[in-house]
Amino acid sequence: MTLFEDLRGGLVVSCQPLPDEPDDPMRNPYLQARVAAAAAMGGAVAIRGNGLADITAIRAAVAVPVIGLVKHGTAGVFITPTPAHAVQVATAGAHIVAVDATDRPRPDGRMFADTVRAVHAHTAALVLADVSTLREGIAAVDAGADAVATTLSGYTSDSPAIDGPDLGLVARLAELLSVPVIAEGRYRTAEQIKQAFDAGAQAVVMGNAITSPLWITRRLTSATPRGAGLPPRCGQPGQR
């Protein structure tokens, strides 16, 4: 039995500050570890964390498996983009290393399979392939990935740009692959989580909708007059 069997039927919580917000107050390993501990207490079967310091802090704070990654760059393949990054993530404490497995060019010119081999040869960690299409998922399994996640659907030119999760991709991967399929990407409601399991997901990852006060607040304030760009409505003097 692999770690992915331990995740079957459960919710994985992604604890990461917003990548495009360098001033996000949650950008702190101690805070991310506390958020992870609360998520684990609430029933999360694993935690997904980004950055070596965060991974180490989260690993020390929770008893559930840690899915780790490191983001290097801002475009193209930047989720654990090289074998060296992947080994560093495992060494920092990740039980499972999440790696971009799309067919886009990698910054070091190597292949996804090289990263899989490095992780399996030099660490005890497993490899989770983040993909955007069915073709990439099949190729990732052929390259030795231990599981596949739909993380990057909607973020590449080959995948659909939709507001919600790509449930169709979850279903196609689950039908055709011999490894566990993890549903990830824009899951925001309990109903979407249920739909992912109905489609065949082994586990579902939810992130900002649980762990980012900044993201949650922005999404909710967008429904307010002030957030929508309208002038604030004032009451009587002294009530503003």
What residue spans define the domains of the chain? Answer: 3-213
Q: Say if residue 196's pLDDT is above 50.
A: yes
Percent of the chain with pLDDT over 70: 95
Contact 152, 122 (CB under 8 A): no
How does pLDDT run across 5-53, given as a tens digit for each residue?
999 999 999 999 998 888 999 999 999 999 999 999 999 999 999 999 9
Instruction: Give CATH superfamily name and number for 3-213.
Output: Aldolase class I (3.20.20.70)
Residue 228: the pLDDT is 74
For residue 175, give both structure tokens: 């039908």
As a whole number of angstroms, the distance between CA 61 and CA 59 comes to 6
Task: Give pTM, 2 decimals.
Answer: 0.93
H helices, E strands: number in the chain = 10, 8
Helix (H) or strand (E) holding 13: strand 10-15
Amino acid present at 170? V
Query: To which residue do tokens 């008893």 refer?
Result: 63
- Direct distance between the N- and C-terminal alpha carbons of the chain, in angstroms, rounded to an integer: 59
Name the helix (H) or strand (E) containing 210.
Answer: helix 208-211
pLDDT tens profile 136-152: 999 999 999 999 999 99
How confident is the model at residue 229, as a pLDDT?
Answer: 56
Q: How far apart are CA 102 and CA 152, in angstroms?
A: 8
Q: What is the dihedral of CA 168, 6, 60, 81, to 10 degrees?
A: -40
